């Protein structure tokens, strides 16, 4: 007697069909990652885990692995984000769209749980991509935060070390979040 076992994977496991192609042929660790964070599919804290990997393909693999672990339909969100990205081939997007429409599943939109310390962190995350791309005059923002005691003077050199505005913005937001979290945990008012 032969027994057949059918395993039903959540919809976002459709990423496996494009896993190798995405790892090798796209750049996920810059704008795409920023957009995934803004859409609350990934957390700002996930960026450190991703950036730990030295090779772009390893960073892409880490991003996909994180997406596959999410309970939400990360496949649809990734597809939406890839459409906005110039780093993804139109052919792959078309293939991913065909697969998405070949499933007639009804997916409920689950609310993303906030892992952050308050309403301001949620706003920061939802506006993450916009802040990374459009925050200007970062050095003056850093100076202002130093004068208000949010950042330390040594933070200025660390944040400004890359010289690239998007990277400086990412470092600034990461530093603000870590300082805010410490402030909240220590009972500051």
Tell me what pLDDT residue 33 has.
Answer: 93
- Give the residue-averaged pLDDT of 71-89: 85
Tell me what pLDDT residue 187 has.
Answer: 46
- Helix axis angle, 31-38 relative to 44-51, nearest 10°? 150
SS3 track for the chain: CCCCCCCCCCHHHHHHHHHHHHHHHCCCCCHHHHHHHHCCCCCHHHHHHHHCCCCHHHHHHHHHHHHHHCCCCHHHHHHHHHHHCCCCCHHHHHHHHHHHHHCCCCCCCCCCCCCCCCHHHHHHHHCHHHHHHHCCCHHHHHHHHHHCCCCCHHHHHHHHCCCCHHHHHHHHHHHHHHHHHHHHHCCCC
- Give the residue-averaged pLDDT of 142-171: 85
Copy the structure tokens of residue 50.
């991703």
For residues 151 and 146, what is the distance between their CA atoms, to the nearest angstrom?
5
Q: Is the pLDDT of residue 186 over 60?
A: no
Cβ–Cβ under 8 Å, residues 68 and 12? yes
Q: Is the pLDDT of residue 66 over 90?
A: yes
- Give the residue-averaged pLDDT of 166-182: 77
For residues 168 and 125, what is the distance between their CA atoms, to the nearest angstrom?
16
Tell me what pLDDT residue 58 has.
Answer: 94
Average pLDDT, the chain: 76
Tell me what pLDDT residue 7 has.
Answer: 35
Kindly indicate the confidence band of residue 42, based on its pLDDT and cuts at 50, 70 and 90: very high
Cβ–Cβ under 8 Å, residues 117 and 25? no
Tell me what pLDDT residue 104 has.
Answer: 38
Residue 177 vs residues 52, 54, 60, 63, 124: alpha-carbon distances, Å: 19, 24, 24, 21, 9
For residues 173 and 166, what is the distance between their CA atoms, to the nearest angstrom?
11
Kindly indicate the confidence band of residue 12, based on its pLDDT and cuts at 50, 70 and 90: very low
- Give the residue-averaged pLDDT of 87-92: 85
pLDDT digits 0-9 by tens, 90-136: 888 888 888 776 543 433 333 333 333 455 666 777 888 888 888 88
Instruction: Look at residues 68, 87, 81 and name the one whose alpha carbon lies nearest to residue 34.
Output: 81
Q: What is the pTM of this model?
A: 0.63
What is the set of domains in the chain, with CATH numbers? 11-102 (1.10.533.10), 119-185 (no CATH)
- Give the residue-averaged pLDDT of 136-141: 85
């Amino acid at each position: 007697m032969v027994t057949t076992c059918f395993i039903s994977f959540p919809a976002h496991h459709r990423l496996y069909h494009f896993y190798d192609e995405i790892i090798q042929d796209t750049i996920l660790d810059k704008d795409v990652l920023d957009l995934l964070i803004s859409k609350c599919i990934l957390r700002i804290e996930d960026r450190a885990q991703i950036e730990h990997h030295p090779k772009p393909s390893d960073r892409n693999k880490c991003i996909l692995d994180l997406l596959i672990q999410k309970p939400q339909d990360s496949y649809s969100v990734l597809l939406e984000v890839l459409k906005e990205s110039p780093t993804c081939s139109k052919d792959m997007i078309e293939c991913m769209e065909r697969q998405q429409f070949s499933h007639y599943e009804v997916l409920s939109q689950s609310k993303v749980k906030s892992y952050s310390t308050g309403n301001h962190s949620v706003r920061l995350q939802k506006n993450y991509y916009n802040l990374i791309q459009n925050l200007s005059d970062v050095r003056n923002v850093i100076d202002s935060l130093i004068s208000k005691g949010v950042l330390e003077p040594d933070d200025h050199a660390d944040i400004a070390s890359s010289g690239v505005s998007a990277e400086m913005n990412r470092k600034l937001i990461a530093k603000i979040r870590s300082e805010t979290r410490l402030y909240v945990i220590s009972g500051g008012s």
